[in-house]
Amino acid sequence: MTDRRPGIVHLGVGAFARAHLAWYTAHADGEPWGITAFTGRSPDTADALNAQGCRYTLVTRAADGDVAEVVDTIAAAHPGSDDTAWRHVVASPETTIVTLTVTEQGYRSGSDVPARLVAGLDARRAAGGGRIALMSLDNLTHNGDVLREAVLDAVGDEGLGAWIESNVAFPSSMVDRITPATTDADLRDLAGLSGALDGDRVPVVTEPFAEWVLEDAFDGIDRPAWETAGVRLVDDVTPYEQRKLWLLNGSHSLLAYLGLQLGHETVASAMDDPVCRAAVDQLWDDAARELPLPADEVTAARDALVDRFRNPRIRHTLRQIASGGSQKLPVRVVDLVRHRLDRSPSDGIGPGAATALAAWWLHCTDQPEFVDDAGAPGPDSDVHDVLRVIAPDLDTTRVVAAITAAADRIRAARAAAGTTPARTGADEGVPA
């Protein structure tokens, strides 16, 4: 265990949280802050971390080699089922920050995440724990507002609701760092890597790139000096959220569905395919027209993504990225389409977005054994069924024609390459 101040509570600790939140916190200047970590449903990560003093190795994997460092930011780890510990640490006056990585589904109706947060906040109110910030680190536009709404909707006590309104801040954030799942080969290679924790069973592998844009809305709430570690504090996170969702996440989904159709298994492999790369560039062109950021910043982001996606040593599998399309595509692609149509209805859907939606349609119909998404349309679905799931308002003659034409182009590219949709390959990687 560490002697850091346990001022942060994190729900949903996994590889990404340990490569991002924990890494930034470890590198921040000033008072050393620690994280009390809670898993999602499985206790395995908490058990493994506790067995090695909550320390672990972070392997930064560049194209030219690996660099290892030991991260000691986690002060304690608990299974998500430990409700007593959860209420205790959220109520503690030492805790001023609660962060979450629970995926988009954690904020939807039926999730138990908001109820757990409300239980912790109720305990804090009873203990007089003071003001606190709740921060989503998930890929959602306006994720602070989404989190606030989810929490307040779960409150059944009018007095508690008023206390939350007065005492809880919900800063929005944009986070980015590709973090594939650790493989058996990674574990074997760790023994010969300088700087690694001896005998580490839960190391994390990540890319060199990292970014965190955070809304400066803490209103006097104590927090680590994250800006000294490279975090960008801004008044409005929205443009950066959109840049990440439309450029990185949108193209990830496009590469996943289109790449699997063309027989690829990884992002790097798909990015080297001229058909996939051209579609990605089209989607990025679509996004560049809508992003409220300087053109040179958008260009720099695109150039960085090309290098990141083509890193041959980051095995980021398409099957893992492809999961949950019915939740991901509305914010990654459909939102971009709506901005485009609001600006200029005569522009139509845009070729990159049409290809992304067509590729998902073919993924659902041609590769049903790969579909990990309870909300996806079935294998006999047509384009109207697809739009009914993710964007019923876009079910127009023009949009349907664009998606149908894009699907025909994908089938033609598949035939020209002599490939069939990929049906093998390990399911590794990290959701993106």
pLDDT of residue 421: 65
pLDDT digits (tens, 9 = 90+) for 133-184: 999 999 888 999 999 999 999 999 999 999 999 999 999 999 999 998 898 9
The pLDDT, as a whole number, for residue 2 is 63
* Top-confidence residue, 340 or 430: 340
Same fold, 5-234 and 238-417: no
Q: What is the CATH number of domain 5-234?
A: 3.40.50.720
Res. 428: pLDDT tops 90? no
Task: Specify the range with the lowest mean pLDDT, choosing from 272-281, 349-358, 415-424.
Answer: 415-424
Query: How far is Cα of residue 54 from the mean position of the Cα atoms in its chain?
Result: 23
Say if residue 28's pLDDT is above 90: yes
3-state secondary structure of 294: coil
In whole numbers, what is the pLDDT of the chain averaged over residues?
Answer: 93
pLDDT in tens, 46-96: 999 999 999 999 999 999 999 999 999 999 999 999 999 999 999 999 999
Indicate if the pLDDT at residue 424 is higher than 80.
no
Tokens read off for 182: 């650790």
Question: What average pLDDT score do residues 111-135 get?
Answer: 97
% of residues, the chain, pLDDT over 90: 88
CATH number for region 238-417: 1.10.1040.10
Indicate the pLDDT class of residue 417, thresholds 50, 70 and 90: confident
Looking at residue 141, its pLDDT comes to 85
Neighbouring-strand partners of residue 233: 214
H or E stretch covering 113 = helix 113-127
Question: Exposed, middle or buried: residue 411 (CB in 10 Å: 0-12, 13-18, 19+)?
Answer: middle
Looking at per-residue pLDDT, the higher value among 40 and 366 belongs to 366
Do residues 389 and 375 lie in contact, with contact meaning Cβ atoms separated by under 8 Å?
yes
258 and 422 in contact (C-beta within 8 Å)?
A: no
- Average pLDDT (178-194) is 91
Using 50, 70 and 90 to split pLDDT, how confident is the model at 316? confident
Q: CA 196 to CA 183: how far, in whole Å?
A: 16
For residue range 239-268, list pLDDT tens digits in order.
999 999 999 999 999 999 999 999 999 999
Residue 427 has pLDDT above 50, yes or no: no
- Alpha-carbon gap, residue 109 to 117, rounded angstroms: 14
Q: What are the structural domain ranges in the chain?
A: 5-234, 238-417
Compute the distance between CA of residue 290 and CA of residue 421 in angstroms, rounded to an integer.
Answer: 32
DSSP letter string over 300-317?
A: HHHHHHHHHHT-TTS--B
* Contact yes or no for 131/221 (Cβ under 8 A): yes
